[in-house]
A = this chain, B = another copy of it.
Amino acid sequence: MAREFTGKFARNPQLNSNGELHHLLSIEGLPKAILERIISTADSFINVAEREVKSVPLLRGRSVFNLFFENSTRTRTTFEIAARRLSADVFNLDITRSSTAKGESLLDTINNLTAMQADMFVVRHATSGAPYLIAQHVAPHVHVINAGDGRHAHPTQGLLDMVTIRHYKRDFTNLTVAIVGDILHSRVARSDIHALTTLGVPEVRAVAPLTLLPTGMEQMGVRVCTRLEEGIKDADVIIMLRLQNERMQGALLPSAQEYFRNYGLTPEKLALAKPDAIVMHPGPINRGVEIDSRVADGTQSVILPQVTFGIAVRMAVMAIAASSKVMH
C-alpha cells in the first residue's frame, strides 16, 4: 500500500510500510525515533547481561544464520552471544567452505538458506551493498542485519557508540564529539557521523591528516581539524579509530611513530579535552600507535564497556526487527 506513495524513489529498504525497522542495513536513513528506540532497548538489555541467567525468550524458536563471507571472529561472536541471549537458534555457516565455493550465486545461497526456514540473516561481506541485495530478495518475513559491508557501513558498531555516549553523557544535544584517525577508510566513522548528527549533537569534529580525510565532510555538518590538539579541545567524547597496519606502510602515512607523535592520544593531549571526557575505540587497539596504554587503560577509557554495550545493542536490533509486522 505504501508503495503507491513512494513515487519515483523506493522507500527506505530498512523499514516496512508501517515505518518499523525490518532490516538493519545502515544508520544512514534511520529516523531519530528508531535510533532512540534501539538505544533505549539496548539500555534495558545491559541489565540482562549482568544477571546470572543472561537470557530472555524474545527469539525462542527462531533461526538466526550468521553469514560471514568475510572473517571476523569477534563480531561474529558478539552476534552469536546476542542471538543466544535472546534464545534464538544460531547457526554459524562456514561460507568460505560452502556451496558458494562451488560457484553458486549469492542469491541462490540465500534462497537455499531461507528454504531451511531462516528467520534472520546476519551478514558480513567484503562487497559494499551485499546486505542490501540480500534484503531485496529475501522472503517478507526474513530480516537482514548488516554486520559490516566493505567500506560502506557497520551500523551496529555505530549504534553501540551511541549507546555508550548516552550511557555516560545522558543527553546528546550539548556535546562536542571528536572522531580521530583514519576517517577515510573507516565504516565506523561514517556510521557514527550519521547517528550523531541525527541525534542532535551540535558539534562533530573529524580529526585526521588530510590524506586520511574523505572529501565532503563539511557538507555532512562536520568540522574538519587536521591537528589533534585543536580537534579534542574541550571535547566531551573522543572516538579513536583503529589504524590499519596496511595504511602505515603505504603512501598515506610516513610511519607509525610519526603518526603516534601527531595523532596518538596521550594523557598530556587528553588533558586538553573536558575533565570528564570519555575515550572510545572500536577495538582491537594498537597500543602506542593510535593510543597510549595509559589512556587505553585509564579512568576515562570506556573501551571495554563498549564491548559489553555492543552485545546489548545487537540484542536490541534483533529483538526490534523480529517484532516488526510482516507487510505484504
Contacts and interface: CB of A to CB of B under 8 A. Distances in A.
Interface of A: 49-55, 60-63, 71, 73-74, 77-78, 80-81, 84, 89, 91, 93-95, 97-99, 102-105, 108-109, 111-112, 114-117, 245, 283-287, 304-308, 311
A257 to B, nearest CB: 16
Contacts of A55: 61, 89
A116 B81 contact: yes
A91 B99 contact: no
Contacts of A102: 245, 284
A99 B284 contact: yes
Given A77-B91, A115-B307, A61 B51 contact: yes
A50 B285 CA distance: 44
Given A53-B61, A116-B307, 15 more contacts: A53-B60, A63-B81, A73-B93, A73-B94, A73-B95, A73-B97, A74-B99, A80-B91, A103-B284, A104-B284, A112-B283, A115-B304, A115-B306, A116-B308, A116-B311
A161 to B, nearest CB: 15
Contact of A73 (B50, B61, B98, B245): B98
A160 B84 CA distance: 30
A44 to B, nearest CB: 16
Nearest to A84: B89
Contacts of A308: 115-117
Q: 4 tightest A-B contacts by CB? A: A53-B61, A73-B98, A115-B307, A104-B284
A77 B112 CA distance: 11
A283 to B, nearest CB: 6
A59 to B, nearest CB: 10
B49 A54 contact: no
Contacts of A52: 61-62
Contacts of A49: 117
A287 B105 CA distance: 9
A52 B306 CA distance: 33
Contacts of A307: 112, 115-116
A311 B71 CA distance: 27
A103 B63 CA distance: 34
A117 to B, nearest CB: 5
Nearest to A54: B61
A179 B199 CA distance: 60
Contacts of A108: 283-285
A133 B179 CA distance: 34
A78 B112 CA distance: 10
